[in-house]
Structure 1
Amino acid sequence: MTTVVALLLVGVGSVAYRLLPLLGAARVPEAVSTAAGWAGISVLTAVTVRGVLSHEDDSIPWAVPVALVSVGLGLAMAVRGRPPLVVLGVGAACYLVLAATAGALG
């Protein structure tokens, strides 16, 4: 429930941030821009971590470590500046290979 509240608050804040110039604000203060950026990144990080740590799949013996390694590899690719489709493809391929390997071993 707290994740939903955080997503809603950041979403409403994002819409308000984009509407400020239309409502007459000549310029949005730098502190507001910085806080909005960090709030968005924080919510995305929280949703990702929660999703990985609560990942359950009965067909994969080690579902959480498989998801953790796959997301970590995707993050490493993103940090290196790879395009989003490459990051998604590498993370998905890593997940499929590790899931098949874990299923064969388990």
Structure 2
Amino acid sequence: MGNVIIVAVLAVIPIIALKGSIKHLKGEGGCCGGGSTIKEPDKKLSGTVINTKVFKIDGMHCESCTSRVKRAINSIDGVSAKLDLRKKQAVVKYDKEIADDTLVKEIENIGYKVVAVQ
């Protein structure tokens, strides 16, 4: 009887772990800080928007990730970002000329990978 209980417990543990992993990979679970997330407020540009680019970003799994990336991009004067977790991208508006490398470096310094700039 004891063996049956041990086998049952050992069967349930991987199932629970798999369900958590699937939620995490879909961006529905808590990671990178977990639990409740304080959303980063939108940044308003002071000048006229002169350009818009889309940065495709690898490594964002949850709302905490998108808040970190948004905060990093918005810390740069002259740009404002809106993040989309499902599409894994940042839509960045500019009111002055800023090199793509500046934004890429800021994003990659916090642990994410920019795979394309459009």
Whichever structure has more strand as a proportion of its residues is 2
The structure, 1 or 2, with the larger RCO (C-alpha pairs under 8 Å, 6+ apart) is: 2
Larger radius of gyration: 2
Whichever structure has more helix as a proportion of its residues is 1
Normalising by structure 2, what TM-score? 0.26
